[in-house]
Amino acid sequence: MLKGRQTWIFESKPVIISSAAVVGPFEGKGALAEDFDVIHEDVWMGADTVERAEKRLLEEACNVAIEKAGMKKEDIQFFISGDLMNQIISSSFTARSLDMPFFGVFGACSSSMEGLALASLIVDSKAAQYVLAGASSHNIAVEKQFRYPTEYGAQKPPTAQWTVTGAGVGLIAQQGEGPKVTSATIGKVVDMGIGDPYNMGAAMAPAAADTIENHFKNLNIEPSYYDLIATGDLGRVGHELVIELLKKKGIEMPKDKFMDCGLMIYKDDQPVMAGGSGCGCSATVTYAHLLKRMKKGELKKILIIATGALLSPISYQQGETIPCIAHAVSIEM
């Protein structure tokens, strides 16, 4: 059911019956290491290119999620996935090995929740019994494509973020045990004129604020409705900014409940500048850490707002500012 212009309420409450996250060695030394299903010791995952390494992460996360549900690939109708690689090759090549009908999505780092929102709509409208939704990123592959090869050792300003090496996947079903997807707010593109790809958090904060504001307004709820509200990968700079922006809109975010996946995934002593980022950031934190906390009973209602910076290297080189977007999905036990 549509509420306002852009919020869906899923009346049948699709269930995340299974989920998985597979990460790299640096994330395995991070704050959420215990929650991940697989931690690779080798950032190449035994592959000969970093692009193939990212595909292995996503394939593995899909296979673990399917296995945990005690299901077979053939029982699942659709795979929805996105990533940051040109032509989303990590997702498309994973779809090839999964042999499932496939929807490729692209919303940069918001792809994780774009996929979950669409998967939930498909299940809610009985257009599938089971949909697998995923997203991934790989630090070396992303840095090489968007900025510089990491081997080059380019210096970065403190506003820069660290791309997460990881893939997160959820299996959404009409029925079953697990956290339920209750609503989603689809974001508009917001561009406040920031053109610096080393300050994505600041660029994405206005999009996050816009989606959060519309989510609360359309559902007529307050931030206190949720036990935890987490943006995707705003990092330190963007997180402070979105608090300020929401305050100006008259929305006071409770400090103990409002977090950012990019500020949760690493330890304080890891050199990640302003925090984590990448499609794999919100995907691994949500599908591993947050759902685990829900199942333990620590959290009953959460809202994830995955944020995406929709630039390309060429749009940046041509002097364009960065259009940003944020999609919010609420999950309840």
**What distance lies between CA 243 and its chain's CA centroid?**
20
Query: Which of residues 61 and 264 has its CB atom nearest to a copy of itself in the complex?
Result: 61
In whole angstroms, how close is the CB of 122 to a copy of itself at the nearest point?
A: 7
The helix/strand/coil state of 73 is helix
Triad 30, 328, 70: Cα angle to 5°: 65
String of DSSP letters for 240-279: HHHHHHHHHTT----TTTEEEHHHHSS-TTS--TT-EESH
Distance CA 151, CA 249 (A): 43
Query: Which of residues 100 and 290 has its CB atom nearest to a copy of itself in the complex?
Result: 100
Query: Which of residues 108 and 288 has its CB atom nearest to a copy of itself in the complex?
Result: 108
In whole angstroms, how close is the CB of 74 to a copy of itself at the nearest point?
A: 8
In whole angstroms, how close is the CB of 295 to a copy of itself at the nearest point?
A: 28
In whole angstroms, how close is the CB of 256 to a copy of itself at the nearest point?
A: 30
The helix/strand/coil state of 39 is strand
Query: Which of residues 39 and 328 has its CB atom nearest to a copy of itself in the complex?
Result: 328
Query: Which of residues 108 and 272 has its CB atom nearest to a copy of itself in the complex?
Result: 108
**What distance lies between CA 113 and its chain's CA centroid?**
6
In whole angstroms, how close is the CB of 168 to a copy of itself at the nearest point?
A: 19
Handedness of CA 323, 199, 146, 109 (dihedral sign): negative
Query: Which of residues 92 and 150 has its CB atom nearest to a copy of itself in the complex?
Result: 92
In whole angstroms, how close is the CB of 155 to a copy of itself at the nearest point?
A: 25
In whole angstroms, how close is the CB of 103 to a copy of itself at the nearest point?
A: 6
End-to-end, the C-alpha distance of the chain in Å comes to 20
Confirm if 109 and 309 have CB atoms less than 8 A apart: yes
Confirm if 1 and 11 have CB atoms less than 8 A apart: yes
Query: Which of residues 255 and 314 has its CB atom nearest to a copy of itself in the complex?
Result: 314
In whole angstroms, how close is the CB of 278 to a copy of itself at the nearest point?
A: 13
Query: Which of residues 93 and 162 has its CB atom nearest to a copy of itself in the complex?
Result: 93
Confirm if 147 and 197 have CB atoms less than 8 A apart: yes
The helix/strand/coil state of 81 is strand
The helix/strand/coil state of 43 is coil
Which residues are at the interface with a copy of itself (CB under 8 A)?
A: 1-2, 5-6, 8, 49, 51-52, 77-78, 82, 84-89, 92-93, 95-96, 99-108, 114, 118, 121-122, 124-129, 186-189, 191, 310-315, 318, 320, 323, 325
Distance CA 107, CA 167 (A): 16
Question: What b/e readout covers 211-250, taking b as 16+ CB neighbours within 10 angstroms?
Answer: bbbbbbebbeeebeebbbbbbbbbbbbbbebbbebbeeee
Residue 147: both structure tokens together: 């900025």
